[in-house]
Structure 1
């Protein structure tokens, strides 16, 4: 298992951050692992997203994931069991948003990948440090993007 985490205080309401993260065309400005978004289909507080990615700049196979939300508080993204990508690895990403007052929100983000043998022995050592650093940088990019635009409140 490999994982990365990042936490930042962002001077924006949780609603703004929540909406930005759930707009994959906008969010891929912060998450450079997202290459092309093929589809997003919402059913209430649950969505299926299909996108192509890249790790360390190298294209990865397209994946399908399920997004579940607690509006303006939490976002979970998980690989879909039974899919081809899930047979090679499982993914869980999450965001928590905690409003602190005065327009500030604490954002915590974690991404976790579990590769299955024999890929585990080859890929995890190559991606471990990169994922840890990239996830921290992703949250910093999120902060910079959101704080660079005027707050509408």
Structure 2
């Protein structure tokens, strides 16, 4: 497994940060792991979206995936592969989980971003060493860009 956890304080309310994450097309502007978004469907506190994935350090675009984001209002968004019939091939070769956990602070919101990706052998032997090197800086950059996007919007 390759796991990354990044904490970032952002000058905004937790609800504002979580709304930004749930807007998949807008969030793709700060997350290089999200390529072209084909569609987004939202029902209550669940958002699903289909996109072309891109893993840092792995050449070319990755597979087309459908992710499911589940909102706990004011607190967190949990992300996983959408249930069947989506992602049949991805499930055969990998597992994925991610989250954004928000806690209010006097400075704004402390965001804890986690990404966990596991590939099954034989892909694990090839991809895990690359991702252990490339995923942490990618997630750090993503969170820095999310902070900038939200804080710059606050100023304008």
TM-score normalised to structure 1 length? 0.91
Which of 126, 129, 132 aligns to 1:128? It is 132
SS in 1 for 2:112: strand
1:8 counterpart residue number: 8
Which of 70, 77, 81 aligns to 2:79? It is 77
1:50 counterpart residue number: 50
Between Structure 1 and Structure 2, the one with more strand by share is: 1
SS in 2 for 1:136: helix
Deviations 1:70-103 (A, max 9, x none): 012100001245521121111101000111146x
Matched, 1:111 2:115: yes
Which runs of at least 4 in structure 1 moved beyond 4 Å after TM superposition? none
Tell me by how many angstroms 1:151 deviates: 5.7
Aligned equivalents of 1:81, 1:115: Cα separation in 2: 18
**Number of matched residues?**
151
SS in 1 for 2:61: strand
Q: Given that residues 22 and 47 in structure 2 are in contact (C-alpha distance below 8 angstroms), is that contact kept between their aligned partners in structure 1?
A: no
TM-score normalised to structure 2 length? 0.89
Task: Give unmatched runs, 5+ long, in structure 1.
Answer: none
Cα RMSD after superposing both structures: 1.7
SS in 2 for 1:19: helix
